[in-house]
Structure 1
Amino acid sequence: MSVASRTDGVRRGVAADPHVAELGKLMLARAPKLGEAMADLLCRQIDAYRDGAVVTREQVAESCVANVTFIFDSLAGNADVDVSPAEHTGTTRALAGVPLPAVMTAYRIGFRFMWEQTIAAARAAAIPTDSILDATAQVFLAQETFTQAMSAAYRQQLTAQIVEREEERSALVEALLSHRITDSQSLWEAADLLRLPTSGPYVVVAAELPAIGKLGLPTIESKLSARDIRSAWRLLPDLQVGIVHLKVSATHDSLGTLVDVLGHAAAARVGISPPFQELAETSDALRCARLAVTGKPLGDALVAVFDETPLAVAAVSAPEAMAKIRSSVFGPLDTLPAEERIVLLDTFRAWVEAGGSANESAAKIFCHPNTVRHRLHRVEELTGRSLSRPQDIAELCLAFEVERRLP
């Protein structure tokens, strides 16, 4: 049972010492006046209570009277004492946004004030010293019980608020990803609620889930925040998706830092979209991030940044159509032994990256330029395309991009 749901109180044994019970009854009669005096003290010394804007003086007084009544009830030997006022205080202070340390400070100041008043009353009533010591032990126990009930209710309410805020943030992220927020005012409001700057550059990050309901990037928001990178995240059925803001003055460095953090945190493959400037572009960026994470891996790294070159975009834009193009162009290469096929494709890639220079290609793959020319001629023979015709080169390059990027 949660702390906030208990209403039957905390069981207390009847005080064995009649002097303690006498003191409890004496102070219980003074509880309302004492609580009011305690409230005045706290409103002077606690910032959150001082001007009444966060918590009113009446609310402070209500809590103080409940506190001292609880303690003096225990001294008077009452069998059942109710902790629900303490739980109510904890819940209301959390809702008001009063920091728990401030509430605990108020309890400490109030307890000292209450006990000083109790000691003075005990001496005036000629209560024996041994009885005062016994009462002290009971008061400390009662105060601890009351304080624990308050703090447990505070933390429970705070947890509920955090969960609610995160659910709201998650829903906003999904709304941006699905392009349900489009007007400027709503986008600015969304950025504010997500604690993101109102303008880019942003990127969308998509991470595969290692298992259903298991995050691919655990605690990633706090890890990025530690590197001064703001983000907001949403768990989808198949992906963990985040909107990440990059530093305007050092976008390249910020992207490099992001890749580094993601690389250390990733438990599965992660894709990053190209940078974009407006939150309205988030849904398009998600598509690129998905393509980066679902495409053919380039090397052993788990993190892939989508390459926004025209060929790369074309290669992954219509996977079924592109797969047919790859098959029609490179189909004859599929009949070759795997090792030979890889050699021909690697040579073609080096030639493209070298701007069509056989000499530079040879330097890249550590062979003779004539070997490069021979392999390229084999590609021409097998595909029926000529590297001297621009249209044929375009088809070969597109097929190669599809080969590289699609599973």
Structure 2
Amino acid sequence: MRSLTQSNHDAEVRELLRGAAGALLARLPELTDELVTRVRGGDEAYCTFVPADDHWQSTREGLRIGITTILQDRHERRDLPFTESMARRRAEQGLPVDSLMRMYRLAAQVMWSAIVDYVEREQPGRIGVLVRVATHVWHAIDRQALVAGNTYRRREQELLGRNHERVNALLDALLDGTADAGVVRGASAALDLPERARFAVVTVRFPIRHDHEGMRLPEKIGQMRFMWRMRTGHEVGVVALGDASLDDLTEGLRLVVSGVAGVSPVVESLVDLGDAHRLAELAMRTCADAGPEIARLDQRLATVLVICQPELSGHLVGGVLGPLLALEGPDRDVLLTTLETWLLCEGSAARAAGRLYCHRNTIINRIRRIEQLTGRSLSRPRDIVDLTLALDAVRLLPL
């Protein structure tokens, strides 16, 4: 008896749904107008990302398929392929997923209101059947919304991955100096950067100081915008400076860099980033292995010349520091450290003594010995240049 009663109920629901579906299909343009108006009237995103004609036509087709789906068994859901196709399209158009989900809620309201109107007008004696009809209607629309959301997110991830790959490829072309005029225009649009502006390139060699695990290099410091690319052992950043100076850039980097970094000169266009990248790497090569240290090329030009000419630098080292380097290890290292510290302290024996935790007279005696061994005087500017460049070569080059 119970099975017979359930069968009768199901037959009654199907009959009511068939009648409602026919009535809704007859009102399809009217229902389409109502849903499109409600969606676009309450969501600026649809007006921005989805053309009006596209929206109307796809809504009409979606309602038509959705109405006929009410009459289909669950295993015959012909609406879901359309739902997947439309969700992918909306993701490609850039419509936010929240706007898409709101559209399905409004579609459910429009559909249900139309079914209720039909029953009240044409079959008022079956108002009670609406409770069972609701299960079929809301299940169909909920399933569409679930499929649409999942499909949208998968497509969004695909698009983000492709966009990320494209952005990286464009950055690589700019940094490698292989970008022609067309690539530069594409990079300008994809990176949201003007073709001509004030840029610099930064190279950073690890480690990076961080306050918590997983912190990344900054995307913005003040008005400066950064775009980073990972290279073997270091990261490269394109910096859109705006009105900021290289002093501002260097000070900002000090907050995040505990390794070493090189900073290029300012360049005036995207096409110059390849040269800026090369100069930033040269600046970083003037840093010792231990950080923190940030090297600006415009402040390390003499040292860059040393590392760019290793053969000549070898001759310079031999001619200037040869006798000193021939000493026994501990003696040699003490004198080299003293010379480097004395130069860093701008010739102040007192300050050098403070750094090296010894007496001022000890520093003076070591400086005299260095002068005797090298034949150079640290009171003559030309000799100081020779000693400084030779010391840089010893520190930076595998001689």
Under TM normalisation by the shorter chain, which class is it? 0.7 to 0.9
Counterpart for residue 84 of structure 1: 81
Q: For residues 8 and 227 of structure 2, what CA distance do their matches in structure 1 show?
A: 56
The correspondence for 1:196, drawn from 188, 193, 196, is 193
Q: Is the 8 A contact 2:260 2:284 kept in 1?
A: yes
Residue equivalent to 2:19: 26
Question: For residues 258 and 397 of structure 1, do their structure 2 counterparts lie closer, same or farther at Cα, with a shift above 3 Å needed?
Answer: closer
1:288 maps to which residue? 279
Match for residue 232 of structure 1? 227
SS at match of 1:116: helix
1:261-292 deviation line (CA, Å, top 9, x unaligned): 355xxxxx553323413234322322233345
Query: Which residue in 2 is equivalent to 1:6?
Result: none
Question: Against the structure 1 CA distance between its residues 231 and 354, is the aligned structure 2 distance closer, same or farther, given a 3 Å change threshold?
Answer: closer
Match of 1:4 in 2: none
Q: Is the 8 A contact 2:203 2:236 kept in 1?
A: yes
Q: CA deviation at 1:108?
A: 1.7
For structure 2, which runs of at least 5 residues remain unmatched after alignment? 1-6, 208-212
Q: Any idea what SS the aligned residue of 1:256 has? A: helix
Per-residue CA shift, 1:336-385, capped at 9, x if unaligned? 45544343223212332344454554455454443222111222333344
Q: Does 1:402 align with 2:393?
A: yes
Identity within the alignment, %: 26
Q: CA deviation at 1:37?
A: 2.4
RMSD value, Cα: 3.7
Count the aligned residue pairs: 380
Q: Contact between 1:100 and 1:151, CA under 8 Å: does it hold in 2?
A: yes
TM-score normalized by structure 2?
0.78
Residue type of the partner of 1:165?
N
Instruction: Please say if 1:40 is aligned against 2:33.
Output: yes
What residue is the counterpart of 2:118 in the other structure?
121
TM normalised by structure 1 equals: 0.77
Cα distance per residue 1:183-217 (max 9 Å; x no partner): 6x97566334322355554332334589xxxxxx9
One-letter amino acid matched to 1:54: V
Query: Aligned runs of 1:131-150 on 2, under 5 Å?
Result: 131-150=129-148
How do residues 101-180 of structure 1 correspond to structure 2 at under 5 angstroms? 101-123=98-120, 124-126=122-124, 128=126, 131-180=129-178
CA 1:151/1:159 → structure 2, altered by over 3 Å: closer, same or farther?
same
What is the deviation of 1:323? 4.8
> Do 2:49 and 2:94's aligned partners in 1 also have CA atoms closer than 8 Å?
no
C-alpha distance in 2, partners of 1:77/1:187?
55
CA drift of 1:296 comes to 5.2
The farther-off stretch of 150-159 and 198-207 is: 198-207
Any conservation in 2 of the 1:291–1:306 contact (CA below 8 Å)?
no
The match for 2:362 among 361, 371, 386 is 371
Moved more, 89-98 or 201-210: 201-210
Partner of 2:92: 95
Structure 1: distance between partners of 2:382 and 2:155: 66
2:250 counterpart residue number: 255
What's the CA shift string for 1:292-350, capped at 9, x where partnerless?
A: 5555535443x633453332222322345535543554444445455443432232123
CA distance in 2 between counterparts of 1:226 and 1:134 reads: 60
* Residues 354, 261 of structure 1: alpha-carbon distance in 2 compared, 3 angstrom cutoff: closer
8 Å contact kept, 1:43–1:57? no
CA distance in 2, matches of 1:139, 1:321: 84
Q: Distance in 2 between matches of 1:306 and 1:231?
A: 17
Sort the Cα spacing of 1:243 and 1:63 in 2 relative to 1 into closer, same or farther, 3 A: same
Q: CA deviation at 1:398?
A: 0.5
Q: Distance in 1 between matches of 2:301 and 2:46?
A: 63
| Alignment match, 1:60 | 56
Contact 2:265 2:296 in 1 (8 A): no
For the 8 Å contact 2:83–2:144, the answer to whether it is kept is: yes
Indicate the larger mover: 308-317 or 186-195. 186-195
Contact 2:264 2:277 in 1 (8 A): no
C-alpha change, 1:306 and 1:384, in structure 2 (3 Å) is same
| TM-fit CA distance, 1:143 | 1.2
Q: Is the deviation greater in 396-405 or in 188-197?
A: 188-197
Is contact 2:97–2:149 with CA below 8 Å preserved after alignment? Answer: yes
SS in 2 for 1:261: coil
How far residue 161 of structure 1 moved from its aligned partner, in angstroms, is 2.5
- The whole-number CA distance in structure 2 between the counterparts of 1:251 and 1:34 is 67
